[in-house]
Amino acid sequence: MEIKEEKINSFTVVSVKGKLDASNSARLEEKLLSILDKNEENILINLKELDYISSSGLRVLLFTAKKIKELKGKFLLCELAPHIKEIFEIAGFTAIFTIYASKEEALEVK
């Protein structure tokens, strides 16, 4: 798994590439917590290049979303491949997360 971080407008965009599972989800959690530690409360997770996610990955996203909700920040997701989106649907995450088809659309959120 590769993680890339960039700042665009009011968002910190975190792109996750490859496989996100129990063996590396702690690495993503550390990265997301380090962003919140810098008082950056708007995070956009770009999953365009994510091939695989297990419940360990979803756990990290839910944990971060809960934290951001408390901080009254924004937590958005974008560009999920169909098989990844299906996992989010089974987990009921499409109802609790805001998911955009493209990064551009997500970044327009004020």
Interface contacts to another protein, rule CB under 8 A: 21-23, 52, 54-56, 58-59, 62-63, 65-66, 69, 81-83, 87, 90-92, 95-97
Strands 2-8 and 11-20: antiparallel
For another protein, which is the closer residue by CB, 6 or 86? 86
Q: Nearer Cβ to another protein, position 5 or 109?
A: 109
Nearest distance from C-beta of residue 106 to another protein, angstroms: 18
C-alpha span between 20 and 13 (Å, rounded)? 17
- Give the residue from 41, 51, 42, 37 showing the smallest Cα distance to 1: 51
Cβ 65 to another protein shortest distance, Å: 6
Q: Which is nearer to another protein, 39 or 82 (CB)?
A: 82
Q: Of 5 and 71, which CB lies nearer to another protein in the complex structure?
A: 71
DSSP string of 65-101, one letter each residue: HHHHHHTT-EEEEE---HHHHHHHHHTTHHHHSEEES
Least separation in angstroms between CB 87 and another protein: 7
Structure tokens at 101: 């088809």
